[in-house]
Each structure stands twice: as C-alpha cells, then as structure tokens.
A and B are shown apart, each in its own frame.
Chain A
Amino acid sequence: MSDLDEFKATYFDECSELLLELEEQFTAIEEGDRDTERMNAVFRAIHSIKGGAGAFGFDKLVEFAHSFETLLDFVRDGRVELTDEVVTLCIRSIDLVADFVGAAQEGEDLSPDFGAEELARFKFLSGEEDETMEEFDIDFTPVMVAVGDDEPIVSDELNSSAEEAGTESDSFEEPPMQDGERYWKIVFTPHYELYERANDPLLLFRELSALGETKIVASITELPELQKFDPFGVYCSWVIELHSSEVKQESIEEVFEFVEGDCELEISRVMADADNDLEPVNLEQANLEQANLEQANLEQANLGQKENIPTKEASETNAENSQSADADLEADEGLSLADLAASIEPAPAPKPEKSKPVVAKVKTPETKAATVQSIRVDLEKVDRVVNMVGELVITQSMLTQQMDDQLRARYQEMVRGVEVLAQTTRGLQDAVMAIRAQPVKSVFSRMPRLVRELASKTGKSIRLEMVGEHTEIDKTIIEQLSDPLTHMIRNSADHGVEIPETRLAAGKPEQGVIKISAEQAGGNIIIAVEDDGAGINRPKVLELARERDVVGPDQQLTDEQIDELVFAPGFSTASAVSDISGRGVGMDVVISNIKKIGGSVHVRSTPGQGTKMLLRLPLTLAVLDVMLVEVGTGPYVIPLSSIVETVLCEKAEFGYAPSGRRVLQIRGEYVRVIDLVERFEMEVNLEEHRRYVVLCEGEGNSKVALIVDKIIGQQQVVIKSLEENFKRIGGIAGGTILGDGNVALIVDVQGLKNTPEQKSAA
C-alpha cells in the first residue's frame, strides 16, 4: 500500500466517523436543539471532509461540500435562518455527501448532475452566484519571507493577524512583568528525527500554553539561502518564555516527554530583567493559533509539507476552541495561508528598524475544549490481548483449583497472592472486554437515513425513535448487527407501518413511529425494533405458510408460533414484491445472522397496535456460555444459546420412524435424534436411561435432540480454533480449554443437523 493509499484509507475512516457525527448533530438539531455549538460541530465536520477531499482531488465532493459549508456558515452567523426546510435540506445533503464519499472510495463516477438540485438550493439560500473555488486550491503557495543576511526576521503579517483575531486579542494583556519576576526559559531545538516521527512543535506549544502564559520566539537564523535550502532540512528553533508561578520543571519536561532525544531542550529559571536575549519586545501580539501558524508554515516550508496531511490537521481542528475555528480551519490545513494573508487587511505595521525574532504572546486559553483522547488500534492487536487474558483467566482458575486446605494452611502468603491474582485477573478481563466494546450508536446512527429513504419510497410518514444508543457491545457483534437491523427496520416500515390514510382511518396519528432501543439485561443485550403499525396479519401468514408447505395442513399453531413464521426462509406476506422488502429474503437472514453470533430473535405482535421484534445478544463473542457435557470419554460443550431444554432419557418419549431411526416426541413435535456417541463413533458405556437428551434449536427454529452421556454444568469458555493446527471436523465447531487445562470440543449443532444421518456405528 502506498503512502497515499494509506492516507486515503485514513481519510475514509475519518469521513465515516464525521458522517456519523453529522447525522447525530442533525438529529438533535431536527428535534429542536439549536445550540450554536452544534452548528459549529457540523461546520467543522463538513469542512474536514472537504479539506481531505481537496487534497485527494475528489472535485465533485469538494464542490458539493463547499457549497454546503457556505450555507452552514451563513446559518451559523444568522444570515440564513435555520428553518425546518433548511434542516431537511441539510439532512438530505448529508446523505448525498455520504454518497459522494462512497463513490470516491469505490472510485466510481456519479452522474454529473448528482446532487445538482441541492447544490442549486445551497446557492439560492446563501445568495451566492458562483463562488470561485480558488480558496481551496491546494497547490503549494510559497510563503513570502524577507530573508535578511543572517538576521532573524519578523513577519509583518503578525500584526494583521492580531487584527483578524478580533475580539480575542482584546483580552490579551502583557503578562505581569514586575521586576524580579521569575519565569521559565525553554530553548527548544528540534532535530530532524522529531519531524520524522511525525511530531509537531505546534502541539507542544499548545500544551505548554496550557500551563501558563507563553511567549514563543522562533529563531530562524539558521535558515540558508534558497539555493542551499533542503526542503526536509531543519532550520528552526524556538525560545519560549513561560510565565507561571506554580509550574514545576517536571510539568514542562512532561510536555516534551515524547520528543525526548529528538531535540535539544534547555529549561532554566530566569529573572525577568536578567535576560537580554529575550528583551523583546514591542512585539506584535497575536493569538496562539495565528502566531504558531506562522511558525507552522515556516516548518512546513522546511518540511516541504511532508508531515502535513490535511485530514489529520483537519481533525485536530475539531478539538479546538470553536471561536477560533474559523481562522484555524483555513490555516491549519496549510492549504491557504496566502489566501488568509491576502484576505486580511494589511495593518500599518511599523517597519522594524532592526529585524527581530518572530515573537508571539500567548494567553492561556480560557476554556479548554473537553477532548476525548483516543487512539486507533488495530483490532488484531486487541484480540491478541483478549486471547492472552483469556488464557490468564484459565491459568488462574487452574491455580485456584489446585489449592486444598493443607496447602492453604502451609502457604498462607502464597494463597493470599493467588487470591489477589484472581481479583486482578478478573478486573483485567473486564477492562480488556471494555476495549472491544462499542456503543451501538455506530449502528443505530445509520438507521435514520434508512428510515427517511423508506418513508419517501413508500409514501408513508415515519418517525424514528432511538433509545439507549450508548449501550455498549462487543465490536464484532456490532458489525454483525447492521444487516439484521436494516432488515428489521425495512420490514417494519414496509409491512408494519400503514399508509397515512389507513392510519387515520384506524384512529392513529398520521405519522407512524419505529422505535429502536438497546439495553443491557444481565449478560445479554436486548435490541428491540418496535412499530405502531398494523401488527402481523396472522390469518394471512398462516394461509401463506400452508400454501408453501412451511406448515402442515392440519398443524395447529399458537399465535406466537404464527408470529415466528415471519422468520421462516422465503417467507413474505407483502402482496406486491416491493423495492424495499418482500422478496422473501431478509427476515430469515435476520435469524441466521443473529444465531451465528449466539443470539436469539423473538417477535411479539398485537393486531392493530404494532409489532415488536427483540434481539437477544451476548455481550461478547470472545466468551461463550456453554453447557459442559460428556460424550464417551471426552468433554464436549454445547453453546447455551442453542439449547432449548434438557431431559433425562428415561423421562423422554421416543418413537421410531419407519427407517428405524429414533425420534423424540416432545410437546406435540417430533424431533430428529442424534446420539453423539454414535455420531462421533465412540463406545457407549452408560446405561441408556441414565443418559440425557439435550434439545437444541438450529437455524430457522428447527430442532434436533442430541443424546449425551452426562451433563456436567454450565460455564463460560473462550473459543479456540481447531483448524489453526489441524483441520475442520464435521459436527465440531472448535475447541476450548477448560479450567483443568484440558481441551473440550464445541458441538456444532447446525453442522450436525445438516449432515445426513449416518448408519449407526458398529
């Protein structure tokens, strides 16, 4: 993968996050929350998407995002009123941006007039004819600096930047500089390696300025003549004054902790009037961002934009103080400094008689935006940790089992140690599982768009309500959740919610409601999709089921059983096959996907009032709840999620099919029997009546009865692959390691069901 591809991949990752954020913000805005911070967040997100798109040359996306952004900007400063119409346009536009991003990712071309209508609306609303796109030209624009012979220079623009910063600079004051005041002097000279490791001095300065008032002076005396200029060379160093009475040297060192070794750093405590080097000062004031900008740009010139990845920068700006977002956004991307400078009215800056170092005074930001710190980690690495912790848990329980009373009496200290170890291990396991856990929001937030699309396609009016989207589940489960949830919502929108006329006739509000909710219940997560539609049409379902031989002609079903039929493969009650659902695939996909991840699906319906579908999911896939049984001489485990009930063989009623095969008769049903000892070709060494029947449920509610020798108990296990070092075995889904260190095999219920009956073993 080339560097560019990697950047692109990062960009698309970020886009999907930003799109989710947009969706979320607009959902709140739509509900009437017109907080300005929300508009700012929206603006930043669109801007970040645009910035990256520009860098990668996704022109269509840039154009669209730009117009969108212009409108948002107008909304933000009140020039355009945020009416419902505008909100609807914005929400529609987010979907379009998502399509643009998707097309760019897939390298597809959208039709040339894709989004043209919205584009025209933007322009109409923002009263803009056809703004040129100059501003987003990412061609490298050289920064003009007057290079003296060997003297440092002052950038004239600083003055003007202060002006541009407007109100903010008003609040700046000279730091109190009483005689004899002591301050920290930090001389920071980065080495090439610092940049190579993608560190950015700007970030360090920001962090420093959080400690107290800083005055940062860039020394560019080392800057060579242009011919000798190495774009990757390092020519800049900084002298920083930090005015704060309580800051300790350690805190300053901490700021530079991560660049240790990649720079020269001198930290000293000096008296205010004792230092001539820094005797400044008649220096231009500017806010932190503006000043550092200049420095950042100098570096950028040094580095030839090597470190400057627009998307990265853009995302940084998200965390920034929103007040200065406007200016930073343009500048931080390093795309348009020249434009920025040009747009600033040049202030009558007194020509410095003598060149002086570039200096900026910085006031500690008053409100530090609360930032959530996070890192991106390869899932595989997390899984490795999860696995190791799984082992640790097993080893620990093995140790605990070894301890008898004699041992406890003799080695009290050791026993105590083992007990602490047990506690720590459990804590560690929880913590590791929490790393994999993600809020279901990431799936839920895709649904509003789906509902909007469904509503417009079916001509129904549907409102989506979401509850408990912060509930966390294992990431793997979340990934598996998207399809089933989509199908369920489609089903609710298509078959559940009625058309407005019918609803009104039934005395219901015109607008139908689909509610999705998530909650934790014990060791499970329950996800419900509920609609206030007509409910399942039971007579029709039954009729269809009989027609298609899903149900025998004289089989009597309870209401619940009829409801469950909607999950049968190839089943649809929609009289017309619609674009959305009704092709007969879908609901059976729900059940098979959910079973695959160890969950279950239930449906409850009240005619005329609506349908509620419930997904019961395990909290994590790394640990499986199982029943430990014995078959022949080996330990086997059966996933608890597929077990319906267990019966002692002598209490069970068996019948014989004409082929001589045994069938289990239970609650009016006849269920195929598989004796695991026979199936696995082992010797039966127990009397028949003392064995157990484990009634299991496979895909599509079909059951199978497994006969095992002994039921040992329930426990949680970590799933291990058999194929890693061996190969797949029919009827076995994998292995697991028990508390005593032995391997137990996991019974593959579905696999057993699918294999034809074997001749009973000799």
Chain B
Amino acid sequence: MESVEQRNNSDLEHDIASGNSMQLIAFMIGEQVYGVEITTVREIRAWDGATPLPNTQEFVRGVINLRGTIVPIFDLRARFGDGITNTTKNHVVVVMSVGEKWVGVLVDAVSDILTISKKDIHKVPEGDNMDSELLNGIITHDNKMVGLIDLDAIVSRVKTEGK
C-alpha cells in the first residue's frame, strides 16, 4: 500500500514538474474544505486579533502587522455570506500573495497539503453566483469536495466608502 502511494507520489511530482498537477493547502471553514495553490501561500499564523478598518464590508476583519508591513485580513466565512467568524486563538490566518499584494485569509483550521491532478478539477456548477464568483473549480479528495478559492475574487469588490 505504502509503496503504491510512494510511486503515486513520485508520479505526481513528475506531473507537477510537467504542469499537470498542483499542490494545494487545504483549510476548513466549518465542515467544508477549501484549497489554494501552495505557491501562493506565504505564511500561516494563529489569529491574534486585527485592527478593524472603518467603512469597509464586514468580511474585511481589519489589518495586522506582518513584520512591519500592514496586511489586510479577509474573513472567508463572512465572505461566503455565513456571518463573521467568532474568532478564538485556534483560528488561523493564511497569508497569501495576490499579484503584488499580500493578504491574509481567516479560516477555522489548515487541514492538509493535497497533491491533485489538474485534469481532476471540475467546473463549478452554475446556478449560484457566489459559488462561481469565488471558486475557480472543485475537486474531489477522499470523497470530499474541495473548493478551489479564487483569490482575486475574494480580494476584489472591496468597498472602502461606506456600505
């Protein structure tokens, strides 16, 4: 069993090199698993509060100090319209780079690193705007649905002058 997996792994590594596969950092919001490409992730840190920003939507939790740089934190749960996360010290901020900018995403927990084959990515079923707007695709891993987060979409559409 183990040897099979190892061969799979080396196959996958080969696939990554050839561009057919990618690795994801998977994290949880409630029971739902989401993932982002590992190369965009800069840092994972525990939630330690943020300075709230005035006149922004509720999913902008505020800004934190990341070694001297000010980084905004987005509450992914709130972004999906499920209300703001009731934060504890166990919550996690995943710091990622989106283009030139660094942003933090507040999630419940980081669960795993997944290696997936690009051909396994499914399209997001049409019908719900929020889903197709915020997800790049869906894959299945261990019989669970993993939503691929579209970072650009998460960050864009932030308003800064009132609601």
Contact = CB atoms under 8 A, between A and B. Distances in A.
A390 B67 CA distance: 11
A560 to B, nearest CB: 37
A735 B72 CA distance: 11
Given A394-B68, A725-B70, 19 more contacts: A391-B68, A679-B54, A681-B162, A682-B54, A725-B101, A726-B63, A728-B160, A729-B53, A729-B56, A729-B160, A730-B55, A731-B55, A735-B70, A737-B65, A737-B70, A742-B49, A742-B51, A743-B62, A745-B53
A383 to B, nearest CB: 13
Interface stretch (A27-35, A56-64, A235-243, A630-638): A630-638
Interface in B17-76: 49-56, 62-65, 67-72
Interface of B: 49-56, 62-65, 67-72, 101-103, 158, 160-163
Interface stretch (A109-117, A175-183, A716-724): A716-724
B163 to A, nearest CB: 8
A680 interface: yes
A726 B101 contact: yes
Contacts of B67: 391
B43 to A, nearest CB: 13
B54 A680 contact: yes
Interface size class of A (residues with CB under 8 A): 20 to 34
Contacts of A680: 54-55
A394 B65 CA distance: 11
A23 to B, nearest CB: 41
Contacts of B71: 725
Contacts of B102: 725
Contacts, number: 82
A732 interface: yes
Q: Which 9 A-B pairs have the closest CB atoms?
A: A680-B54, A391-B68, A743-B51, A726-B72, A735-B70, A729-B160, A725-B101, A737-B65, A743-B63
A732 B103 contact: no
Contacts of A743: 50-51, 62-65, 70
A731 B158 contact: no
Contacts of A742: 49, 51, 65
Contacts of B53: 726, 729, 732, 745
A308 interface: no
A737 B68 contact: yes
A387 B96 CA distance: 22
Contacts of A390: 68
A633 B53 CA distance: 10
Nearest to A682: B54
A722 B70 contact: yes
A328 to B, nearest CB: 49
Contacts of B72: 725-726
A735 B55 contact: no
Interface in A709-762: 720-722, 724-732, 735, 737, 741-745, 758
A732 B102 CA distance: 20
Interface of A: 387-388, 390-391, 394, 632-635, 679-682, 720-722, 724-732, 735, 737, 741-745, 758
Contacts of A726: 53, 63, 70, 72, 101, 103, 158
B68 A387 contact: yes
A722 B55 contact: no
A735 B63 contact: yes
Contacts of A387: 68
B144 to A, nearest CB: 32
Contacts of A721: 70
B98 to A, nearest CB: 9
Nearest to B53: A729
A358 to B, nearest CB: 58
A652 to B, nearest CB: 23
Contacts of B65: 737, 741-743
A390 B69 CA distance: 12
B51 A744 contact: yes
Contacts of B62: 634, 743
Nearest to B66: A725
B70 A720 contact: yes
A503 to B, nearest CB: 56
11 contacts: A394-B68, A680-B55, A720-B69, A724-B70, A725-B69, A725-B71, A725-B101, A729-B55, A730-B161, A737-B65, A743-B64
A681 B159 CA distance: 14
Contact of A635 (B51, B69, B158): B51
Contacts of B158: 726-727
Nearest to A388: B68
A752 B109 CA distance: 39
Interface-central residue, B62, B67, B70, B72, by most chain A CB under 10 Å = B70
Contacts of B103: 725-726
A634 B53 CA distance: 8
Contacts of A391: 67-68
A681 B54 contact: yes
Contacts of B70: 720-722, 724-726, 735, 737, 743
Contacts of B163: 681
A730 B160 contact: yes
Nearest to B161: A730
A387 B52 CA distance: 24
Nearest to A759: B162
A390 B51 CA distance: 20
A722 B63 contact: yes
Contact of A731 (B49, B54, B63): B54
Nearest to A633: B52
Contacts of A735: 51, 63, 70
Contacts of B64: 743
B100 to A, nearest CB: 8
